[in-house]
Structure 1
C-alpha cells in the first residue's frame, strides 16, 4: 500500500515537471517602451511616452463583446542620496479605459481623472491613444529641485484588477490577459525655474 502511494507520488511529480517544461513561460515584456522623457512646463513636469504592442485575439474579442480594458501607466521619480536610501520625490499613475459601444459601433477611450471621452471608428484608432498618450502631469512645478539629477522608473500594463470579477479570475490562469512592460529606468536633470 505504501509502495503504491510512493509510486503514484513520483509519477505525479514527474508528470508535473514535464508539463511545466512544456508550457510556454509567462513573462513581462509584451509592451515595449519606445520613448520616455520628462518635460518641464509652467504646470509642472509632464511625461511624454510611446509604447509599442499589439493586442492578441483574446483581448480584441473581449473588447468586441463589450468588456472594457484598462491600461495603466505608473511612474516613480526618486532622488539618489549617497548617505541613505533614495528619496521618493513623486509618483503618479494614469489609466486609459478602452471600450466598445455595440449600439453606436464606436470605440471609446477615457482617461481617469478626466471627464472627457473620445470616440473612434476603429479599435486601432482607439489604441493609438494608449500607444501614444498625451503628455500628462506627473509632478508639480516645485516637486523637483532645479539642477538635481533624478532617477525615473516607468512601466505600463493591462490592469486586470479593474476587469469584471469573472475575468479577473480567468486572467490569473490565462497568459492572453498578461500584457505589460518591464520597468524602464532613465535619469533626468530637473530644469525648473
Structure 2
C-alpha cells in the first residue's frame, strides 16, 4: 500500500509539473575584457528535434535568443543588475536555393527588426546550427561599468523563442518537450584581458543599461 501511495504521489507531481525542457547544456562560457568593453564567448550544445527541423523545411523561421545579465554583489541588499545584452538569431530555409539563411540581430527582434541584422548563408543545416550554438566575442558591457573593487556575476541564457512563431503554431507546440529548448548558466565575472578585438559592425552596440535598485 505504501509503495502504491508513493507511486501515485510521484505521478501526480509529474502531471502538475511544467513542460520538460529539452536537454541542452552550456559547454563553454568565457569572459574577456579590453580597455573599453567586456566580451562573452559561449558554446551551447543540443540536438535539433526532427519536428523542429520539419517546421524549418516547411518555411517557418526560428528565432534563438541569447541574453547576458551582469550583476554587482551587494551585501546589504539584492544584487544590482548593471547591464543586459540581448542577441537574436533568425534561421530560415530558402527553398529556391536550398540554402539556410541566418540573421544575427543586436537586441530583440521587436525592437531592431531585420534591417539591423548581419546575415550569412549556409549550405547545410548543421553548418547554420554550429554558427548559432557558438558565440564569439560578443560585447555585453562597457568596461567602465565594472567596478574593480566589487564582485560581479554573469547570468547567460539561451533559448528558442516560441513567441516569434506564427500564432496558430504557438498553440500547437505549447508544452511540447521538443520545442522547449533552453539553457542558462551563472558564473562569476573574471574577465581575462584581451589584446585583439575583431571588428564586428552592427553587433558592437548590444548593451542595454538597466539600473535596478
Q: Normalising by the residue count of structure 2, what TM-score does the alignment of the two structures yield?
A: 0.74
Give CA deviations for 1:107-134 in whole Å, capped at 9, x if unaligned: 0111113432100000000001111123
1:44-55 matched pairs, under 5 angstroms: 44-55=37-48
Q: Which has more radius of gyration? A: 1
Q: Which residue of 2 aligns with 1:115?
A: 117
- Bigger drift between 90-99 and 49-58 goes to 90-99
Give CA deviations for 1:50-81 in whole Å, capped at 9, x if unaligned: 01111000011011111111111111111111
Task: State which of 127, 130, 147 in structure 1 corresponds to 2:132.
Answer: 130
Task: State which of 101, 104, 115 in structure 1 corresponds to 2:97.
Answer: 104
CA distance in 2, matches of 1:21, 1:141: 45
Q: Which residue of 2 aligns with 1:176?
A: 178
Deviation of 1:26 (Å): 3.3
Deviation of 1:43 (Å): 4.3
CA distance in 2, matches of 1:144, 1:21: 43
Deviation of 1:141 (Å): 2.4
Gaps of 5+ in 2: 1-9, 107-115, 194-213
Change (3 A) 1:79 1:62: same
Q: Which residue of 2 aligns with 1:26?
A: 19
CA contact (8 A) 1:151 1:187 kept: yes
- Bigger drift between 140-149 and 73-82 goes to 140-149
Change (3 A) 1:20 1:108: same
Q: Which residue of 2 aligns with 1:3?
A: none
Q: Which residue of 2 aligns with 1:186?
A: 187
CA distance in 2, matches of 1:110, 1:175: 26
Change (3 A) 1:163 1:143: same
Q: Which residue of 2 aligns with 1:78?
A: 71
Q: Give the paired residue count.
A: 175
Higher RCO (C-alpha under 8 Å, 6+ residues apart): 2
Give the match's secondary structure for 1:46. Answer: strand
Q: Which residue of 2 aligns with 1:10?
A: none
Change (3 A) 1:19 1:176: farther
Q: Would you identify which runs of 4 or more consecutive aligned residues in structure 1 move more than 6 Å?
A: 17-20, 22-25
CA contact (8 A) 1:68 1:99 kept: yes
Q: Normalising by the residue count of structure 1, what TM-score does the alignment of the two structures yield?
A: 0.81
